[in-house]
Amino acid sequence: MTETIAARTYRVVTYGCQMNVHDSERISGLLEDAGYVASSGDEADVVVFNTCAVRENADNRLYGNLGHLAPSKAARPGMQIAVGGCMAQKDRDVIVAKAPWVDVVFGTHNVGALPVLLERARVEQAAQVEILESLERFPSTLPSRRESPYAGWVAISVGCSNTCTFCIVPSLRGKQADRRPGDILAEVTQLVADGVQEVTLLGQNVNAYGLDIGDRDAFATLLRACGDVDGLRRVRFTSPHPKDFTDSVIDAMATTPNVMPSLHMPLQSGSDDVLRRMRRSYRSERYLGILDRVRQSMPHAAITTDIIVGFPGETEADFQATLDVVRQARYAAAFTFQYSIRPGTPAATMPDQVPQHVVQERYERLVDLVGEIALEENRALVGTEVEVMFADGEGRKDAATRRMSGRARDNRLVHVAVGDETPRPGDIALATITYAAPHHLVADGGFRSLERTRGGDAWQARQEEPARGVSLGMPVRRA
């Protein structure tokens, strides 16, 4: 009688940004291609940490989780632990020195080597540390296990050629390398054939796409080309940089029907002096000019941003300049961060580090202002009808109303009352807004014109598959 050998299981824990989430989809695809099976529990044979070196306390989170797994590893000698991503690229041998029970450390440029490194570690019974200094092939050539069956990330570039003094990403992911437009559109077309109806174009500096070949209009051309993909309902992109934002991109957004009226435009600071120290090559007047032109072309666009409070040398006058820009920009939402030292960045050694209690007080004032403006902007939508694409999860519940959550075309979060006819994630309907809060909208009158989409079909088919092996270890910014 032949003995059946159970397939090894895996779980991926992701920290950080959308690029890391997309990388984790590649990691999952590689492992499944190598015969591993996804597991959502703590008993996985292989646990992969895809790390971030940007978020505060990222190292503490990683080593805390590695310590939590140490007893499991000791009790199950066949278990393997791998660490990849930005922190692996930065710390290299430090990870194995601090957590000698780790089997594999791999960097941002050699994700594709993971299955081989795991097997080598198993055979040699020794930790494998392999960090490449540059990208050998674009990661989108690797197999993928997509987290969502109806919405997908598509990387159009990797790395970043900017030199912002607070950011360590360029040294960890390298200079920007663009992907060929034909390859991007081929991936988008295949995703749509698989049931995906919303695509987010990804890049560390997404609208700089094409600059390495001297084509400043390449990104606008790409947006327009996405408009020609039959069945693609929504297109977004993140994150752009103000210095590379052109009028041709604004025109492409306004005239391409499936490009969402949603723009995430990082500000970082409203003070020109702080922007200069950050090495951000724009000033507040240029930044606000971009937003004015966006709103002239798309009056109802929802604009979001990133802001850092307490950058070295920031004075009260500098902070007031940031508040002034926030008042003029009228953001739908803002991702606000308290500056903290990141070793290896120029800002880490700058003089005049702002005391923590001052940073905290300014941060609270900023959050209050952002929330006040966001609430005013959302209240203006009460009584209007929006198109909602429903998302995973059952949404908000209370004693009287069952709601399902989704995203409007401008990417605002909407909680919609549902009755006997429950939409599937990926389905689309129209709903009238009845209530507004700073961070979400509510449509308690229900929905109409429910469209049972191919994306919903893909979600339903996914429910028949085994449990997924990807989990999120930190909140992921959704631009």
CA distances, 404 to each of 271, 383, 423 (Å) = 41, 19, 8
Average pLDDT over residues 96-113: 91
Q: Are strands 157-158 and 177-178 parallel, antiparallel or unpaired?
A: antiparallel
Average pLDDT over residues 383-406: 81
CA angle, 206 then 234 then 461, to 5°: 115
Asked if residue 136 has pLDDT above 60, the reply is yes
CA 316 to chain centre: 31
Does 276 share its domain with 318? yes
Does 331 share its domain with 440? no
The range of the structural domain enclosing residue 202 comes to 139-379
Q: Is residue 468 part of a domain?
A: no
Q: Cα(first)–Cα(last) distance of the chain, in Å?
A: 55
Asked if residue 476 has pLDDT above 50, the reply is no
Asked if residue 398 has pLDDT above 60, the reply is no
pLDDT score, position 247: 96
Does 390 share its domain with 429? yes
pLDDT score, position 331: 98
pLDDT score, position 159: 86
pLDDT band at 473 (very low <50, low <70, confident <90, very high): very low
Residue of 110 and 360 predicted with greater confidence: 360
Does 91 share its domain with 125? yes
CATH number, domain with residue 32: 3.40.50.12160
Please say whether the beta carbons of 157 and 129 come within 8 A: no
- Among 35, 103, 39, which Cα is nearest to 69's? 103
pLDDT score, position 469: 46
Task: Give the chain as a 3 state SS string.
Answer: CCCCCCCCEEEEEECCCHHHHHHHHHHHHHHHHCCCEECCCCCCCEEEEEECCCCCCHHHHHHHHHHHHHHHHHHCCCCEEEEEEHHHHHHCHHHHHHCCCCCEEECCCCHHHHHHHHHHHHHHCCCEEECCCCCCCCHHHCCCCCCCCCEEEEECEECCCCCCCCCCHHHHHCCCEECCHHHHHHHHHHHHHCCCCEEEEECCCHHHCCHHHCCCCHHHHHHHHHCCCCCCCEEEEECCCHHHCCHHHHHHHHHCCCECCEEECCCECCCHHHHHHHCCCCCHHHHHHHHHHHHHHCCCCEEEEEEEECCCCCCHHHHHHHHHHHHHHCCCEEEEEECCCCCCCHHHHCCCCCCHHHHHHHHHHHHHHHHHHHHHHHHCCCCCEEEEEECCCCCCECCCCEEEEEEECCCCEEEEECCCCCCCCCCEEEEECCEECCCCEEECCCEEEEECCHHHHHHHHHCCCCCCCEEECCCCCCC
Q: What is the pLDDT of residues 200-232, one digit of tens each?
A: 999 989 999 998 778 889 999 999 999 999 999
pLDDT score, position 462: 85
pLDDT score, position 61: 84
pLDDT score, position 5: 58
Q: What is the pLDDT of residues 73-96, one digit of tens each?
A: 999 989 999 999 888 888 888 899
CA distance 29 to 25: 6
Does 113 share its domain with 173? no
Q: Which of 136, 168, 203 is the last residue of a domain?
A: 136
Q: What is the pLDDT of residues 138-196, one digit of tens each?
A: 666 667 778 899 999 999 998 888 999 998 888 788 888 899 999 999 999 999 999 99
Q: What is the pLDDT of residues 293-322, one digit of tens each?
A: 999 999 999 999 999 999 999 999 999 999
Does 357 share its domain with 405? no
| Average pLDDT of the chain to the nearest whole number | 89
CA distance 123 to 99: 20
Q: Is residue 282 part of a domain?
A: yes
Does 64 share its domain with 177? no
- Among 12, 5, 52, 16, which Cα is nearest to 32's? 12
Asked if residue 334 has pLDDT above 60, the reply is yes
Give Cβ neighbours of residue 400 (< 8 Å, ≥ 6 apart): none
pTM of the predicted structure, to 2 decimals:
0.85
Q: Is residue 19 part of a domain?
A: yes
The answer, yes or no, to whether the previous bond of 271 is cis (omega within 30 of 0) is no
Per the structure, how many domains does the chain have? 3
Q: Is residue 434 part of a domain?
A: yes
Does 152 share its domain with 131? no
pLDDT score, position 395: 57
Does 173 share its domain with 284? yes
Q: Give phi and psi for 180, each to the nearest 5.
A: -65, 140
CA 275 to chain centre: 24
For tokens 């003029």, the residue is 328
Does 389 share its domain with 400? yes
Q: Is 229 exposed, middle or buried (0-12, 13-18, 19+ CB in 10 A)?
A: middle
pLDDT band at 343 (very low <50, low <70, confident <90, very high): confident
Does 43 share its domain with 91? yes
CA distance 410 to 413: 9
Residue of 266 and 92 predicted with greater confidence: 266
Asked if residue 326 has pLDDT above 80, the reply is yes
Q: Which of 360, 379, 398 is the last residue of a domain?
A: 379
Q: Which of 115, 136, 157 is the last residue of a domain?
A: 136
Asked if residue 242 has pLDDT above 90, the reply is yes
Give Cβ neighbours of residue 289 (< 8 Å, ≥ 6 apart): none
CATH number, domain with residue 260: 3.80.30.20
Q: Is residue 353 part of a domain?
A: yes
Q: Is residue 470 part of a domain?
A: no
pLDDT band at 466 (very low <50, low <70, confident <90, very high): low
Average pLDDT over residues 287-298: 98
Residue of 7 and 289 predicted with greater confidence: 289
Q: Is residue 374 part of a domain?
A: yes
Residue of 166 and 465 predicted with greater confidence: 166
Q: Is residue 198 part of a domain?
A: yes
Does 349 share its domain with 392? no
CA distances, 354 to each of 335, 338, 347, 370 (Å) = 20, 10, 12, 22
